[in-house]
Structure 1
C-alpha cells in the first residue's frame, strides 16, 4: 500500500520493483500509461478520468487517494502552466534519511519548488545524487527498466550510447544532509509554507483583511525572498545561518536553485509575511535590510505583481515617491476599473470622522484633513488624476490645497498607518459598498431641507426660541453636512459672511441630544420625500483598532470633553488644549455626541461661544411662566401665532 504522502510514480515504481516487472509492464497493466506514447519520458503531473478509473480498478485504491498522490493535487484548480512553473520543480529534492527508513519511497511534497527542509529529521533536503551529482526524477524510468527504489536512475556517466544505457545506481541514502536547528527559522518557514499549500490559501497575519491564494503567497515569498537575499544585513542572516559552503545565488525561481538557497530566502521572508499588519512588516523590513537598499526594495515591490498587503509593506518601508504616487501604487484586491469608476459613489467629500480622528495633526484644519483623506481614498489603486478626483467630490477645496494636506500627512511618522488604513478601507468599500450613495446625496434639493414650520415645531418642543432666520440657517447647514458629507459652507442656506462662519463653527457646542434627535428626524422625513427610505441618515465604517493607529476617542475622553464644556464652561479651544487635540476634532465630536445640558439656555438671537445666559432654575430647560403665558395667548389663532413668531 502507498506510504502516507507518497507520490504516485514512487508507489508504482515500488510495485514494479516488488513484482520484478519493467516500468512499461506496470504502467500498461495498471492503466497509468494509458493514452501516452510508448516513448513518453516526462513525469505525469495529473491523470485523466480514464487513467484514474483504470488505476483505481486494478489497484483497489480509492480515486480520491490516487488524486492526492499526484502533483496536480498541490496546484490550484483550475491550474495552468503558470501555477505549475511557480509551485513545482521539473525534478524532485529528497531527504536521504527518509529514503533510508522507508525503503526508497518518495514524498510528493519534495517536488515543490519551496521544499527545502525535512520536518521529521530536521535536515535540509538534497538536490543531487552523491555519485553523479545530477538532479533526480527529471524524467520517468526507461520503459524496459525495472525500477530500483532508493537508487539513482540517471544514465551512468561515460556509458555507451544505446537505447537503454546502464544506470548510475548509487544509493541516494548515502548523500550527506545538513542539519538545521529543531526550532530554527528554516523549519518554521517550511512548516508555514506546507500549511499554506495544503489549505490552498494564506489567511491571517499580513493577509488578515482578505486571504490570498497559495499561488499569490508563493509569489510574494519569491519576490521578497530574492530582495532579502541581495540586501539583508549580516546580523539578519546570522540567526538563520545554514553553514553554506558558498554564497548562494539570489534567484529563487530557477530550476537550478538549490535547497540551501531556498531555505535561506524563506527563513528571511516568512517572518515578514507572518507580521500581523503591513505596518509591522515595514518596520521589520527596516531592521533586516541595509539602509542603502530601502528605496530600491520599495520600488521593486511596487513595480512587481505581488499582493496588496506586501505592496503596502513596501510603501511603508520608505517614502518611495510622493503620497499621490504611493496611493496609486497600492494594489486593491478588486479590479482597477471598479476602483476608478464606482468607489466615489460611496465616499463623502469629507471622510467619516471615525477615520479622520486617528490622523488629526496640529496645523492642519480638520475639515481640510477630512477632504484630503476622501481624495486619498479614491486614489488608492486608481489611475485617475487628482483634479478629476476633487471634481467628483464637488471641489470643496482646490487640488493644490489637497496636495499640501497629503504632503503634511506624508511627512508625519504615522503615514504608514494612514496608508494601511486607506488601503483596507478601499478594499472594504469595493467589496461591500456603503449603504449611502453620496454621489446622489450631493445632488439633492437642499433648499427644501428643514422647512420653517418644522423648525418652529422643533424649537417649541425643545423650549428654545426659533430666532429671526439666521438660527434656522445654521441648523440647516449643520444638517446638510451630516446628510451630504460635504462642508456645511456649501449648503444653499449658508451666508457668505465671517460672522455666519463663526456662528456655524460653535453651533455643535449648543446642541443637545434631544435637539440632535429631532433634527435627524427632520432629515429622515426629507430623505423619505426624496425616495431614499432605504438609506440611513448618517453612517460610518467600523475600523478594527489593530488595523492602524489606535483610536484616540473613547468613552472616558468623551465624558471629559462634556465635563469641560458643560460643567467648567470653557471654550472649545480650551477643551482642545486640555485633551491634546485640535479644535476641529472637538467640534466634530460635539456634533456627533452632543452634551446633555444642565441649565436652561437663553435662545434669543444667534448662538455665541463662551456666553452662558442666565437661567431661571438650575437643571431646568423649560421657558419661564411669563414666556409660556405669552405663547399661549399668541397661539389662540394661526395668524396671531405666525406674527408672534416672526416678531421673535
Structure 2
C-alpha cells in the first residue's frame, strides 16, 4: 500500500495473495456497505465493466485504481488475466473480449472454486481458478466446482447493482426467479459438497505437474509443448471414453471413479470442458506421457486408437490424420510413429524412421534427396555393408544386389521419394530382385533401423566424392575409358604374366569403371564370377596401375579434387547402437594369411568370417592375396583330393575300369587333370585302342538299339564306349544306321552310377536316376528342399537361381517317373514315394561322402566343380 493522499479512499482493503480483481472489488464494496457498480462509480469508473477489468486493465483504469485505493500497479496487474494473455487465455483488442484458448476450451468468463478455500480465506476468489488448467485444489485435495449446488448456475463473483446486497460474500450471487421476481440464490458456497481426492493420487499429481510445467512457465516453449501434449491427448481420451466405453482400460475407470462419477456419456462425450472432464483427460494424458509409469505405453496406445475404426492391414502411412496431431507436439507425434511401426510397410518404416528411437515426420524435399544421392554410390560402401550383414550366415550370395537395394532404400527416409524412384535416381534397375536379395538374408527391423541411421549420419556430413557426377560420366558402358594398353603390356611382361589378352583388357576396363563408380558397372544381383578371383588375387602393381588410370580419367573431366575411392570414417557411427563389424582383426594378420596357395574359403574360416565378409573386408583395406609364381612346374602343387587321391583313383581306373573322361565327370574337372593325377600317382595308363578294335568290340544290333530305338545321341554312346564321337559316327555310317532327324529329343545322357562301388543294392528308381549326367547335383538339391516354405524361398536362401532349381527338380522327377514333392503344400514336403527315394539318396550320399570326401580340385573352368563347392555336403 502507498501513502495516504487526498484522493485516496479513507478505508482501505488489502488484496490477498492470488486474489482476482473482481473478488477484491466485491470485498471492497461489501466493506463500504455498497454494490460493486456503485463502488465503481464512486472510484470514477462509471461505465467500466469489472468483468473486462479482471481480464486486463487499461492504463487509465490502472492509474485511477492505484491513485484511489493505494494498491500498486504491479499488484493490480497480478490480480488480472493479463499475465496469461496469449498463452493460457486469449484477450483480443481494446474490447478485451475473451476468445477460445489454445487448450481446454474454458473461456474464463466464469470462475471455478474450491469451497474449502472460500471458507478459509473469507470468500476470496483466486484468479487462477479462471484458467482452464485449474481443476483441483492441491491444498485441500478437492476437485474444483463449476456450479452452485442449489441453482445449478455458475456462481458470479460480483453481486452487480440494483438488487439487495447479500450479507455474506461467500454466498451464491446468481439471480433466480422466486415469487415472480428476481432474487439472489444465497446458497453458502463454502458448504458445497466437493469430490475428495486421494493424497498422492494421479489427479492431484497431474494438477501439481500442470502447476509446475504449464501455468508457472506458461511463456516458455517447453510449457507450450507440454500443454499441447496434455490437452490433445486428454481430449482424445475423453472422446474414446464416450465413443467406446467397452474398451476403456481399468486405470481410466479408476480415475473416472476417483473424480466422482461413472463413465462419461451424453454431453460429456462431446468434450464439455468442465473441471471433472479436464481432470480426467489431463490425468490420463499425464500418465500416457510419463515414462516412469508402468502402464504409460498401454494408456498411450488406447488414447491413439481411432474412435471410428480398428487397426488394419500394413499401411504406407502411419495415419491419414497425422496432421491433426500437430497440436500435440513433436514428442507425441514421434511416439505415435513409433507405436505404429508394426502396422507399416518397409517403405513407410524407412520414410518415418519408426524403427529408430527418434521417428519423425518427413520434412525433406526432392532436392534434398538428390543431394543425398550425390553422396551415395550405387552400391553401399563395404564398411557399412558389414554392419548390415548378419554376424554369421551360411549363405550370403547376391551381395551385389543387396548393396544396390541398400543404396536405393537410403533415399527413402525423411523424404518424398519412393523405393522405385530412389532406384532410378541411383541408376539401379531390377529393384524387386535386389530387394528380395536383401530381405532374404537381413532382418527387416535391422534394415529399417540401420539404413535410417545411415541416412541421418550422411545428411550431417560432407562426402569428398560427387557420385551423381560420377554416374553421369562413367555409368554408360558405351563411354570409352582411358586405358594405357602399352603400359599394361609392359607391366605384365615385367611381372612374367600373359594377362594382356583382349579378355584381360575387358576385365581391366570393368574394374576401372567399378573404381570410378564405386559400384559394379553391371546392374545385376551377381557380379561376374571372374571378379571374385580378380579382387582376391591380383598383383599390387596391377592395382596401382588401375588407380593411376582412374586418376587419368578423372583428370580428363577436370576432376582433380576427388579421391578415386573413399570410405566413411568409422567415427561417424560411434554414437549409434549398431552391431560391431568384424573389422577388429589387424591388417597384418590378414595379410599373413593371404598366401599364394591360400583360398578365400580357408582364410575366411581361419578368421571366423564368411567368404563375403572377407571380400568386403579386403575391399575396405585394399588387400589382395599374394599371386602364385608364373613359372610353370617350379612350385609345389597342392595335394589331390576326393576322387583324385591316389588310392581312390587307382580303384576307379584299374579295378573298376573307368575311363579318364568318366573319372573327370565324377571329380568335377577336366580329363587333362585326371591324366596328370594318374601320372603323379604312378598309375600306368591303358594303351590306346588298336586300329579296328572298336568295330570288333561293338555289336551292330546293340548300336542300332541304343541309337535308333532308344534315341540316344552319338556323344552319349561315345561317352559310354570311351571313344571319340567321330569313331561312333563312322560305325553308324558303315552299318547303315539312319541318323536322327533335325529337332530330335534325346534321352538324358548316360554315365556310370557313382554308387556302384559302395556295395549297396540300389532300387530300380535309384538305378535309373543315378546313371544320368548331373544326377548327384539334382539329388543333393532335392535333399535341401524339405522344410522351406516355398521353392522360391529355398532358391533365395541357397543362392540358386529359381530357374536352375526348378530345372533340376523337373529333370529329377522326369527321370524318376513320379512326383517326388507335393508342390501344392506349404512348406515343401515330399510324397510318400518321394520320401523313400530321398531316404535312400541320403544314405547313399552319406556313404559316398564318408568314403571319398569329394572336394573338387582347383579348376576354374568346371561348372560342376562350382556346384560341388555349393552343394558339397548334405546334413
Give the 5 Å matches for 1:281-360.
285-286=300-301, 295=311, 299=319, 302=322, 304-306=324-326, 307-318=329-340, 319-320=342-343, 322-324=345-347, 339-346=365-372, 348-349=375-376
Match of 2:210 among 176, 188, 193: 193
**1:218-272: per-residue Cα shift (whole Å, max 9, x none)?**
4432354235534654433355353433322498896733333332333322222
Instruction: Give the count of matched residue pairs.
Output: 547
Aligned to 2:528: 498
Distance 1:369 1:149 in 2: 77
Q: Does 1:142 align with 2:160?
A: yes
Aligned to 2:520: 489
Aligned to 2:817: none
Deviates more, 1:126-135 or 1:22-31: 22-31
Contact 1:346 1:438 in 2 (8 A): no
Match of 2:264 among 248, 254, 263: 248
Assess, with a 3 A threshold, how the Cα gap between structure 1 residues 153 and 571 changes in structure 2: closer, same or farther: farther
Q: Does 1:376 align with 2:400?
A: no
TM superposition shift of 1:185: 1.9
Assess, with a 3 A threshold, how the Cα gap between structure 1 residues 589 and 502 changes in structure 2: closer, same or farther: closer
Q: Does 1:177 align with 2:194?
A: yes
The two structures, once aligned, show a CA RMSD in angstroms of 6.2
Distance 1:178 1:386 in 2: 57
Contact 1:8 1:69 in 2 (8 A): yes
TM superposition shift of 1:575: 10
Distance 2:579 2:57 in 1: 58
Assess, with a 3 A threshold, how the Cα gap between structure 1 residues 589 and 498 changes in structure 2: closer, same or farther: closer
**1:253-308: per-residue Cα shift (whole Å, max 9, x none)?**
9673333333233332222223399xx97666458899997628975863623334
Q: Does 1:271 align with 2:303?
A: no
**1:94-130: per-residue Cα shift (whole Å, max 9, x none)?**
2222222222233333333343222222232222222
**1:302-336: per-residue Cα shift (whole Å, max 9, x none)?**
36233344334334434556454577789999997
Q: Does 1:226 align with 2:238?
A: yes
**1:157-216: per-residue Cα shift (whole Å, max 9, x none)?**
54755xxx4322322221222222322222222223333323348989xxxxxx963453
Q: Does 1:93 align with 2:124?
A: no
List alignment gaps of at least 5 residues for structure 2.
1-13, 93-97, 630-875
Aligned to 2:697: none
Deviates more, 1:280-289 or 1:1-10: 280-289
Aligned to 1:627: none
Q: TM-score, normalised by structure 2?
A: 0.48
Which structure has the larger Rg over C-alpha atoms? 2
Match of 2:175 among 149, 155, 174: 155
Distance 1:300 1:356 in 2: 34
Distance 2:193 2:129 in 1: 17
List alignment gaps of at least 5 residues for structure 1.
205-210, 482-487, 606-648
Assess, with a 3 A threshold, how the Cα gap between structure 1 residues 196 and 340 changes in structure 2: closer, same or farther: farther
Partner of 2:72: helix, strand, or coil?
coil
Partner of 1:156: helix, strand, or coil?
strand
Give the 5 Å matches for 1:466-615.
474=511, 477=514, 480-481=517-518, 488-489=519-520, 498-499=528-529, 502=532, 538=568, 550-553=577-580, 558-559=583-584, 594=621, 602=626
Distance 1:284 1:580 in 2: 47
Distance 2:75 2:602 in 1: 72
Partner of 1:199: helix, strand, or coil?
coil
Contact 1:220 1:310 in 2 (8 A): no
Contact 1:96 1:173 in 2 (8 A): yes
Contact 2:135 2:143 in 1 (8 A): yes
Distance 1:477 1:160 in 2: 99
Contact 2:203 2:279 in 1 (8 A): yes
Distance 1:77 1:23 in 2: 28
Deviates more, 1:74-83 or 1:569-578: 569-578
Distance 2:144 2:441 in 1: 48
Aligned to 1:434: 460
Assess, with a 3 A threshold, how the Cα gap between structure 1 residues 18 and 202 changes in structure 2: closer, same or farther: same
Assess, with a 3 A threshold, how the Cα gap between structure 1 residues 473 and 439 changes in structure 2: closer, same or farther: closer
Distance 1:572 1:200 in 2: 66
TM superposition shift of 1:574: 9.5
TM superposition shift of 1:371: 3.0
Q: TM-score, normalised by structure 1?
A: 0.61
**1:415-455: per-residue Cα shift (whole Å, max 9, x none)?**
9x849x95x999x79xx96343899651257669x9999xx
Aligned to 1:637: none
Partner of 1:304: helix, strand, or coil?
helix
Aligned to 1:121: 140
Aligned to 2:666: none
Distance 2:376 2:304 in 1: 39
Contact 1:128 1:135 in 2 (8 A): yes
Aligned to 1:66: 77
